[in-house]
Each structure stands twice: as structure tokens, then as C-alpha cells.
């Protein structure tokens, strides 16, 4: 799965070369690359991931758009937690999410969004010779903001709350 995620991220980056010929149209494809942190609520851990995304922007009105988005990520930053008297290494193996952003253009460059999300993640915990993996899927609600600093190229910051975890993301979006 890590190879699939890495291949997807490389493909999204390669397609970003088309950004030079970008012209604003009401509906267009958007690629993205970013970093996210996943924080557990039940067990206090924080892991990070490199995330690639692909989205399709559909303008509903002059200032409002719907943006379905697929995100895939691979773990980069692990954490160490203490369970009882045992030190456990926590690693995010991969992350996948599907969301639909309701995006409001506040100014020509600034936009805000809210999004329901369905996500799937696989986390591995290991201590010495013992290793356990857990996969989970859940719904979340999120919100964020973006700033378009060049035609079609923007930076986004978002927060999503799941029932037992939260995700904070910072990414770069570009036309495809």
C-alpha cells in the first residue's frame, strides 16, 4: 500500500507541471501535496504523514463551490507512548480519505470551507518482539481556510475531528 500511495503522490506532483497553463474555469481539477498530523484521543499519540490529493472543483455560484477530494497518505513521523510500564512505538502505515468541501470565497484570494469526511487509517504499534496493527474507518467533520497566492495555487490549513482522533493538515494545492 505504501508503494501505491507513493506512486499516487509522485503522479500528482508530475501533473503539477500543467500549472503554468492554468486559466480559471468554473470547473477544474486540483492536485495537492501536504503534511498531516493524526492525534489519538484514547491513547495519547501523534503521528505524521505525507499526503497527496486530487479534487474536482465545481462552481455552484459566483462565490460558492463544491469540491470532492480524495487524499492518500503514507506515514512519515512516528511516536513513542508509554502503556503501563512498556514503551510502544506507534506508526501510521497509511491514510485514505474522501471528503466533499463546501467552499466559500471570502475575498479574491481567501476562502473558507467545511467538509464531511470518511477516512480509513492503518496504525501499527510495536514493542520489542510484539507488534500489533489496527485499521479503522470513521466519519469526521472538518473546517479550514485557504489562501490563493498565485493563479490556481493556494495553501490550505484544515482541522478534522473524528470520534477518537483529530487530523490537522497543511498543504499546497495546484491546478492539474
Strands 27-40 vs 46-59: parallel, antiparallel or unpaired: antiparallel
Rounded distance between C-alpha atoms, residue 138 and residue 155, angstroms:
26
Cα 85 → chain centroid = 34
Q: What is the pTM of this model?
A: 0.81
Quote the mean pLDDT of the chain.
86
164 contacts 137 by C-beta, under 8 angstroms: no
For residue range 26-43, what is the model confidence (pLDDT) as tens digits? Answer: 678 999 999 999 998 877
**Higher-confidence residue: 18 or 100?**
100
Per-residue confidence (pLDDT) for residue 19, from 0 to 100: 44
**Distance between terminal CA atoms of the chain?**
24
Per-residue confidence (pLDDT) for residue 26, from 0 to 100: 63
CATH number at residue 97: 2.40.160.20
Mean pLDDT of 158-173: 95
Provide the residue range defining the domain that includes 84.
2-19+27-175
Measured CA distances, 4 to 10, 11, 45, 124 (Å): 10, 10, 26, 18
75 by DSSP, 3-state: which? strand
Rounded distance between C-alpha atoms, residue 139 and residue 136, angstroms:
10
109 by DSSP, 3-state: which? coil
For residue range 55-81, what is the model confidence (pLDDT) as tens digits? Answer: 999 999 999 999 999 999 999 888 888
Mean pLDDT of 121-143: 89
For residue range 84-118, what is the model confidence (pLDDT) as tens digits? Answer: 788 888 898 999 999 999 999 999 999 999 999 99
Domain count, the chain: 1
**Kind plus residue range of the DSSP H or E element containing 14:** helix 2-15
Amino acid at each position: 500500500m505504501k508503494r501505491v500511495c507513493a506512486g499516487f503522490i509522485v503522479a500528482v506532483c508530475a501533473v503539477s507541471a500543467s500549472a503554468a497553463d492554468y486559466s480559471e474555469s468554473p470547473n477544474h481539477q486540483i492536485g495537492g501535496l501536504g503534511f498531516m498530523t493524526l492525534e489519538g484521543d484514547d491513547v495519547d499519540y501523534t503521528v505524521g504523514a505525507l499526503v497527496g490529493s486530487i479534487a474536482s472543483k465545481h462552481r455552484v455560484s459566483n462565490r460558492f463551490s463544491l469540491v470532492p477530494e480524495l487524499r492518500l497518505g503514507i506515514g512519515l513521523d512516528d511516536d513513542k507512548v508509554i502503556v503501563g510500564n512498556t514503551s510502544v512505538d506507534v506508526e501510521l502505515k497509511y491514510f485514505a480519505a474522501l471528503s466533499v468541501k463546501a467552499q466559500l470565497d471570502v475575498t479574491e484570494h481567501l476562502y473558507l470551507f467545511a467538509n464531511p469526511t470518511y477516512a480509513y487509517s492503518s496504525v501499527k504499534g510495536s514493542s520489542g518482539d510484539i507488534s500489533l496493527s489496527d485499521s479503522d474507518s470513521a466519519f469526521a467533520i472538518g473546517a479550514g481556510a485557504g489562501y490563493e497566492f498565485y493563479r490556481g495555487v493556494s495553501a490550505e490549513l484544515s482541522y478534522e475531528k473524528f470520534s477518537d482522533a483529530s487530523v490537522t493538515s497543511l498543504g499546497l494545492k495546484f491546478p492539474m
